[in-house]
A and B are shown apart, each in its own frame.
Chain A
Amino acid sequence: MIRRSMFVVLAGLALLGLLLGACAPAATTVAPTQPPAATAAPTAAPTTASMGPLTFVLVPKNLGNPYFDTANKGAQDAAKELGVTVTYQGPATADVTQQITLLNSLIAQKVSGLAVSADDSNALVPVGQAAAAAGIPVVSFDSAIAAGGRVFHINQAEAQGIADVQIKMALDLTGADGGKIAILSATSSAPNQNDWIARMKTDLAKPENSKLQLVDTVYGNDDDTTSYTQAQGLIQKYPDLKVIIAPTTVGIAASARAVSDAKLIGKVFVTGLGTPNQMRDYVKSGASPEFALWNPSDLGYLSIYALDALATGKIKGQPGDKFSAGKLGDYTVLPDNTVLLGQPTIFNKDNIDNFNF
């Protein structure tokens, strides 16, 4: 008589055996070589950095953000030109704990280099040092890891320049009489956001900006719904608000939508940092007559060239090192261990149709 217990064991083993069979060894990683909407073909597993094809990983603050998706496009272009593989992996939400787990996993896989946009500049230092100890060069782009956790930081534009251009646009939009402005940021821990906000506040203290009055700073966490709700909150709380500055592509789009939905176009203006494709309708409707950005695709492109120069030993990452970045030209590492991409561009209805990203 077969005992009932044996059936449990047999059933369990049968299930698990089928799991084993279903998981026949497949490609261990897949390398996309095309920008979005193209199918990716599985290629061979990545090898270690010393010999053979290099594999770099672009790690955004979180997935599902068009700004970082565009950076990835540039990174893939660079990958094609350099003959390396670039994979694009990030946490589901802008949570540093998830980013650390992901980076630990990538270090374990012995990738050739990491380009990271930090969710928290300090918390990533230990894992950045662990990567360096494992022989993996780490650069940060867009949002810096604190010094000691990366070789150098690739800055899209000078932080002061980014702050200046946003205050200038706010002053343009309020007109000579000035008025109340508010800032809608991303997460309260994002280092780039906090840097820009601090600099904007210093700018506001200057005499030429004295007519602008900053009433509030709120956080949309780079989440569309949260940003939209925060923007609505600002409009309701400050009825005579003139300008919302949103130095985040998610926040600016949500705020422009909130202003349009509340039928306040022409009374409340939205400016900040946004992508042309997202903001085109709002520029034309007048909800956001002008905003600024740099090209995130160039940022991703430059990051991969920088990683390649580090991984192949062309540069060590010290101030003064020069490296070439394909179509962008030559770059030098600055004394504060950053690399500067360029100046921000202001988009308005005159030039917005010239861009597609």
Chain B
Amino acid sequence: MIDPATATPTTESQSSNLVNEFAPRRSFLARFQRWEWMLVALLFIVIVLNSGLSPYFLNAVNLSRTSSDFMEKGLMMLPMVFIILTGNIDLSVASNMGMSASLMGLLFNNGINIWAAALAGLVLGTLGGLLNGFLVSRVKIPSLVVTLGTYAFFRGLAYGFLGDQAATNYPASFTYLGQGKLFGTLIPFSVGLFVVLAVVFGVVLHRTTYGRYLVAIGNNENTTSYSGIQVARIKLINYTISGFISALAGLILASRFGSTLPDIGTGLELSVITAAVLGGVDINGGKGTMVGAVLSLTLIGLMSFGMGLLNIQGQVQGVIIGLLLILSILLPNLVRNIFGSKTRLTPQAIGMIVLFVIIFAVFFVFFFWSRTLALRSL
């Protein structure tokens, strides 16, 4: 780093670096250095690769059916981005989903109108979120601990509501939420809902002061608080919204299944967090875009769909997504470390690039080999 107070530019490169450091305009290509563009590139590669490898990939009916598989995760990801931006986490989203759907199922089984039951589920989910928010913001327990506790607590409530029974035979007007399509197109209702909510959340994040406050809290909570911003209230609101959306996602999932069991949605919270972090939302808070999160959801969805068509096993798919996640965290750091403020093809840089290429080649051979292994009877 050049100290502007004492530096004397002695060479061309040093002076142009000075200009780069402090000039407000960025070069055209520097704009493309963001992680979001990497996601776009990966998305492009995935689409090209998969449409080449399988004739069923770019089929509208198939894409329509597979997209609804991801919408519950997508919905829960939206408030999760807000929460992670502030430097917190919410591990209880899937359990909240299960709890709300189970209450709805219990009420429906006892003869209550499905929409009233659904409303009750939504209210319960929101209250659950409120509980999380209260414990995190007022009682000031770390969010990891709080949501780990409610993760178990909510799921226990779900089993308490439904036990061994299942709630089934939802009316068609309700199953439209998870299974219906919009006005004669192939787009599922849940996808339409997700798009609308994603736009709303995105606008709030990037164009309102509330969104700015989220980023500020994530960057430095103390200074934000000393600046007079009500940090506790913002966190409370975040968690309450998360509870509401989790309950909504629970309704959609129950309607997609046409039935509810208390273990509905188990394990989804990790996929939600993965999608958010892969989208460039820094897990420590303070950095991230909604565009990135939506892009990463699309990327994971298309990759999983494509891999499924190629008969790649679920666990192997998990390996791939995990690697991508690690890459999403490593790559920006590595690039910054290798290149720093000068661009030179040092032997170290070349070595790193070659290493990456080799690792990728090895893993891809592994993935294709694993397919034939999986399809042999075990």
A contact set with B: CB distance below 8 Å: 1-9, 11-16, 18-20, 22-23, 25-26, 28-32, 35-36, 38-40, 42, 63-64, 69, 72-73, 76, 87-89, 91-92, 95-98, 100-102, 104-105, 107-110, 120, 122-123, 125-126, 130, 146, 188-189, 194
Cβ 8 A contact of B29, one of A6, A91, A194: A6
Q: Is the CB of B290 closer than 8 A to any CB of chain A?
A: no
B residues in contact with A97, CB < 8 Å:
265
- Cα of A108 to Cα of B67 in the assembled complex, Å: 12
B353 touches A123 (CB 8 A): no
Q: Is the CB of B33 closer than 8 A to any CB of chain A?
A: yes
A102 touches B314 (CB 8 A): yes
- Cα of A91 to Cα of B267 in the assembled complex, Å: 14
What are 23 residue pairs bridging A and B, where the CB atoms are less than 8 Å apart in the complex? Answer: A4-B342, A4-B343, A5-B30, A8-B339, A9-B29, A11-B356, A16-B45, A28-B53, A29-B311, A30-B371, A30-B375, A87-B311, A88-B378, A104-B69, A105-B305, A108-B56, A108-B308, A109-B309, A110-B56, A123-B259, A123-B261, A126-B175, A189-B263
The 6 closest A-B pairs by CB, nearest first: A105-B308, A122-B259, A108-B62, A123-B257, A5-B29, A4-B343
Q: Is the CB of B38 closer than 8 A to any CB of chain A?
A: yes
- Cα of A19 to Cα of B360 in the assembled complex, Å: 7
B contact set with A: CB distance below 8 Å: 13, 16, 27, 29-30, 32-33, 38, 41-42, 45, 48-49, 52-54, 56, 59, 61-62, 65-66, 69, 164, 166, 168, 175, 179, 256-259, 261, 263, 265-267, 304-305, 308-311, 313-315, 335, 339, 342-343, 345, 349, 353, 356-357, 360-361, 364-365, 368, 371-372, 374-378
- Cα of A110 to Cα of B343 in the assembled complex, Å: 51
By beta carbon, the residue of chain A nearest B310 is: A28
A89 touches B375 (CB 8 A): yes
By beta carbon, the residue of chain A nearest B175 is: A126
Known contacts being A22-B364, A36-B377, is A104 close to B66, with CB within 8 Å? yes
- Cα of A256 to Cα of B366 in the assembled complex, Å: 38
Minimum Cβ distance to chain B for residue A226 (Å): 14
Cβ 8 A contact of A18, one of B256, B345, B357: B357
By beta carbon, the residue of chain B nearest A36 is: B377
A32 touches B377 (CB 8 A): yes
Known contacts being A5-B33, A126-B179, is A108 close to B364, with CB within 8 Å? no
A87 touches B375 (CB 8 A): yes
Minimum Cβ distance to chain A for residue B199 (Å): 27
By beta carbon, the residue of chain B nearest A39 is: B376
A residues in contact with B56, CB < 8 Å:
108-110
A188 touches B164 (CB 8 A): yes
- Cα of A96 to Cα of B265 in the assembled complex, Å: 10
Minimum Cβ distance to chain B for residue A135 (Å): 12
A64 touches B53 (CB 8 A): no
A30 touches B372 (CB 8 A): yes
A22 touches B343 (CB 8 A): no
A108 touches B309 (CB 8 A): yes
Cβ 8 A contact of A31, one of B41, B261, B375: B375
A9 touches B32 (CB 8 A): yes
A residues in contact with B59, CB < 8 Å:
108
